[in-house]
Amino acid sequence: MCAIGRILPLSLAVLSAASTAQAQEHTIRVALTRSIVSVTTLVAIEKGYFKEHGIKIEIEDIDTAASAMALLAQNRLQVVEGGISAGYFNALEKNLPVTIAADRVTTPIHHKFMLRADLKDQIQEVAQLKGKTIASNGQGAVTTYEIGKLLETAGLTINDVEIKILPFTQMAVAFANKAIDAALMISPWNVQVVDQGMAVPFADPDDYVKPSPLTIAVSFINTDWEKQNAQFVRNYTLAYMRGVREYCQAYHGGANRQELIDILIRSGTERRPEMLQKYPWPGRSPNGRLSLDSLLDMQAWFAKAGLTKEQFPVERLINYAHVDHAVAKLGPFVVENQNSTLRGCR
């Protein structure tokens, strides 16, 4: 999707890893939900991090990770980047060949529970959401979990509201048509509906979802593919984690921030560069690790809501082997902009 740009100088450790790259290109199909954090993969493509290892990335856009889980299990996709959902735990119940390989978004996530602008004087407490129509981007999606956790702060459950499933791209129209009263939205869409006067922020999941820190998005991989292509998976992960480190430097206002903004603009993720400067970026781990307490709470919540049946131990939910190998090669992450006080990406 993106032109491959100039390859930057490499550390000796990365050069050593790159020397194992195969002459024959190996295609890896990656599905992702478009957001600011997508630039992790995009910058790794542009800077040739994948190509150094003989890897070609084919990207497929999806609305939710849940919608792509079946394709991942069939190995029609090898990697899916998106939100944790009931669909993942259901896939494990069916013993499908999928697992979590790395963090994608962990507190601060900068999601927002948005309220339709004309309701801001009528609804000022969570309890007043009872009976209202609330948009989530997927049945059993992580946004549904976030909505449910908000309702629980007032003694309500997900059954006390009407959940309407809509892609983030259609939520603004639904607000304009008064088809929904509220929505759980991510950047840049939650900023856009405010700028357009359609909705106002009502609550921040970073404040009300416990336990914290909150992990809401990850990278899933097909485990059959992983077993058959162990070295390629290891090389893919090393290139990907270099993209993660690029993201985290930009997150903290590093010298590469404008470069990553330009990539996001060229990719069509956001067409207004001023917006990428204006609103905060989601946090993530520079070491690929997610919040285990958050993941286990999410699993328990989906089971309680009747969206899943079984619950699994951590070792069944995650395989850190490849990110740990990559981090050992890359070394400790050090924020270049020592003046940054932002939490996350540390």
CB 85 within 8 A of CB 148: no
DSSP readout, 97-152? SEEEEEEEEES----EEEEEGGGTTT--SGGGGTT-EEEESSTT-HHHHHHHHHHH
pLDDT(5) > 70: no
Give the type of residue at 52: E
pLDDT in tens, 301-325: 999 999 999 999 999 999 999 999 9
pLDDT for the residue 23: 53
Give the phi and the psi of residue 39 in degrees, each rounded to 5. Answer: -65, -20
pLDDT for the residue 153: 97
**Residue in the block written with tokens 């070394």:** 331
Q: What percent of the chain has pLDDT over 90?
A: 83
pLDDT(13) > 70: no
User: Structural domains in the chain?
Assistant: 12-107+214-330 (3.40.190.10), 112-203 (3.40.190.10)
Q: Rounded to whole angstroms, how far apart are CA atoms 85 and 144?
A: 9
CB 255 within 8 A of CB 338: no
CB 139 within 8 A of CB 165: yes
Distances in whole angstroms, Cα of residue 61 to Cα of each of 116, 215, 340:
28, 21, 32
Q: Rounded to whole angstroms, how far apart are CA atoms 32 and 84?
A: 12
pLDDT for the residue 1: 44
pLDDT(189) > 90: no
Of the candidates 209, 218, 191, the one whose C-alpha atom is nearest the C-alpha of residue 276 is 191
